């Protein structure tokens, strides 16, 4: 990962997640919520990544951020729209262009694939009055760091890449996994990644480093599901690769695989072994049968980043042309403690100690698995 992703930090407050009813085109507060006054001349479009709503993670969190903005009266429900990607992700550019042509004031793309050449990089200059926020994007990294792009950050003053230091949160759940493995007298754990590349590599690197910090003798098995965004939608593959790692001795598996992580949870039930979720506190969104096996989750506040981007656009404080990085210190990442049966106070205490060290700068988790 290039150093630009660590150059800017924006504090993010931890927001309450607001449930909402939804339809194919608009979202709004659930029945019974008190409607807040909202501006009639401000609109928001959200383009979801592969996996869509119901992924119990990345896409659902982005929608929660939009729901929060609606609930607070930042945008009227009738002035919002979200579009889901097809199963192969071939309509991502089409969805962004559709929202831009419709005149939405701010458009959020929930995934780095929206910034491939021909995507937001090509679309945004034609719509200078529209703000574009890309979760995990790299449109504004600059040619020095991203020479494969065809335009520089200066060409995209209306684009903000909403990025995270995923290696920090992953380091923490790696510490938790190692401590739990010692408790279980287990010497093997696993990592399930979605699409290969620098982004998911940050999850893997941080996780493996956290494990090694506690017990370098623990083996970390690593499996990826593919080299395209379709990997994040491969639930069957996620289950198969997770079962294989469990069969090879893993007692805990951490996933950064989007919707495919639901395959891990199915395997965890089948094998009666532990899993670590990602993005949201997945203990709270899985089935009752799966709950006992969700040890913790690496929290990545995609909802907060989405909400803050919408709020900034509405208030006229939008800052484009550069990445906005959400980190552990600013509350953009964390770890879940919803399953005390598996994540006991002794483990939580140690993990929090390491969180404090990261925030203080005493520990800088790696971002590239190749360096480990």
Full pLDDT tens readout for the chain, 372 residues: 322 232 223 333 333 333 332 333 333 333 444 557 899 999 999 999 887 787 777 788 899 999 999 999 999 999 999 899 888 888 999 999 999 999 999 999 998 888 865 689 899 999 999 999 999 998 888 777 777 788 888 889 999 999 999 999 999 999 999 999 999 999 999 999 999 998 999 999 999 999 999 999 999 999 999 998 889 999 999 999 999 999 999 999 999 999 899 999 999 999 999 999 999 899 999 999 999 999 999 999 999 999 999 999 999 999 999 888 999 999 999 999 999 999 999 999 999 999 999 999 999 999 999 999
Q: Are residues 35 and 154 in the same domain?
A: yes
Cβ-based neighbours of 302, under 8 Å, separated by 6 or more: 58, 61, 62, 65, 110, 135, 279
Give phi and psi for 94, each to the nearest 5: -60, -40
Which residue, 284, 336, 6, 307, is CA-closest to 169? Answer: 336
Query: Has residue 32 been placed in a domain?
Result: yes
Residues written for the chain? 372
> Which range marks the domain in which residue 100 is found?
3-164+302-326
Quick count: other Cβ atoms within 10 Å of Cβ 324? 22
pTM of the model: 0.82
Give phi and psi for 321, each to the nearest 5: 80, 10
Q: Kindly tell me the number of DSSP H helices and DSSP E strands found in the chain.
A: 9, 14
Interior CA angle at 141 toward 136 and 147, to 5°? Answer: 120
Query: Has residue 268 been placed in a domain?
Result: yes
Q: Are residues 263 and 135 in the same domain?
A: no
Q: How many CA atoms lie within 13 A of 276 on its CB side?
A: 36
Q: Are residues 149 and 177 in the same domain?
A: no
Assigned token pair, 221: 């098995």
Q: Are residues 287 and 208 in the same domain?
A: yes
* CATH number of the domain to which 29 belongs: 3.40.50.2300
Q: Are residues 140 and 99 in the same domain?
A: yes
- Give the span between the Cα atoms of 111 and 307, in whole angstroms: 15
Q: Are residues 212 and 81 in the same domain?
A: no
Give phi and psi for 270, each to the nearest 5: -60, -40
Which residue, 253, 251, 337, 352, is CA-closest to 296? Answer: 337
Query: Has residue 331 been placed in a domain?
Result: no
Q: Are residues 212 and 360 in the same domain?
A: yes
- Give the span between the Cα atoms of 268 and 287, in whole angstroms: 12
Query: Has residue 332 been placed in a domain?
Result: no
The alpha helices in the chain, defined as continuous H runs, are: 58-71, 92-101, 120-123, 166-183, 198-214, 235-247, 261-271, 302-315, 345-360
Beta-strand runs (E) in 243-343: 252-256, 274-279, 294-300, 322-326, 333-335
Q: Are residues 219 and 75 in the same domain?
A: no
Query: Has residue 53 been placed in a domain?
Result: yes
- Give the span between the Cα atoms of 367 and 372, in whole angstroms: 10
Q: Are residues 81 and 22 in the same domain?
A: yes
Do 96 and 47 form a contact (C-beta atoms < 8 A)?
Answer: yes
Query: Has residue 220 been placed in a domain?
Result: yes
Counting the structural domains of the chain, the total is 2
Q: Are residues 147 and 104 in the same domain?
A: yes
Q: Are residues 115 and 186 in the same domain?
A: no
Q: Are residues 119 and 32 in the same domain?
A: yes
Query: Has residue 310 been placed in a domain?
Result: yes
Q: How far is CA 34 from the centre of its chain?
A: 30
Query: Has residue 335 been placed in a domain?
Result: no
Assigned token pair, 335: 């770890």
């Amino acid at each position: 990962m290039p150093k630009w992703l660590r150059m800017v930090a924006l504090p993010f407050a931890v927001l309450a997640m607001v449930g909402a009813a939804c339809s194919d085109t608009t979202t709004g507060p659930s029945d019974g919520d008190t409607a807040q006054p909202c501006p009639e001349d401000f609109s928001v479009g959200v383009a979801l990544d592969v996996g869509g709503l119901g992924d119990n993670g990345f896409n659902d969190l982005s929608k929660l951020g939009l729901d929060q903005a609606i609930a607070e009266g930042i945008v009227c429900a009738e002035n919002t729209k979200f579009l889901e990607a097809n199963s192969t992700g071939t309509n991502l550019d089409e969805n962004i262009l559709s929202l831009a042509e419709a005149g939405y004031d701010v458009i959020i793309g929930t995934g780095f694939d929206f910034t491939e050449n021909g995507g937001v990089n090509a679309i945004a200059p034609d719509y200078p009055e529209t703000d574009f926020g890309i979760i995990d994007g790299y449109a504004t990294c600059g040619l020095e760091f991203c020479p494969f792009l065809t335009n520089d950050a200066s060409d995209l003053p209306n684009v903000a890449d909403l990025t995270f230091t995923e290696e920090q949160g992953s380091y923490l759940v790696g510490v938790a996994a190692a401590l739990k493995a010692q408790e279980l007298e287990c010497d093997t754990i696993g990592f399930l990644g979605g699409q290969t590349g620098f982004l998911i590599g940050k999850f893997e690197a941080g996780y493996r480093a956290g494990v090694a910090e506690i017990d370098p003798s623990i083996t970390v098995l690593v499996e990826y599901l593919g080299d395209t965004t379709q990997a994040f939608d491969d639930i069957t593959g996620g289950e198969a690769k997770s079962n294989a790692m469990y069969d090879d001795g893993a007692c805990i598996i951490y996933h950064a695989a989007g919707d495919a992580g639901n395959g891990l949870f199915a395997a965890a039930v089948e094998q009666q072994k532990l899993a670590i979720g990602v993005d949201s506190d997945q203990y709270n969104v899985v089935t009752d049968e799966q709950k006992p096996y969700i040890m913790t989750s690496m929290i990545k506040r995609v909802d907060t980043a989405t909400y803050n981007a919408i709020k900034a656009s509405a208030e006229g404080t939008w800052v484009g042309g550069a990445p906005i990085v959400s980190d552990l210190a600013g509350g953009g990442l964390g770890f879940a403690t919803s399953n005390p049966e598996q994540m006991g106070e002794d483990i939580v205490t140690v993990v929090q100690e390491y969180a404090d060290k990261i925030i203080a700068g005493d520990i800088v988790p790696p971002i590239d698995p190749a360096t480990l």
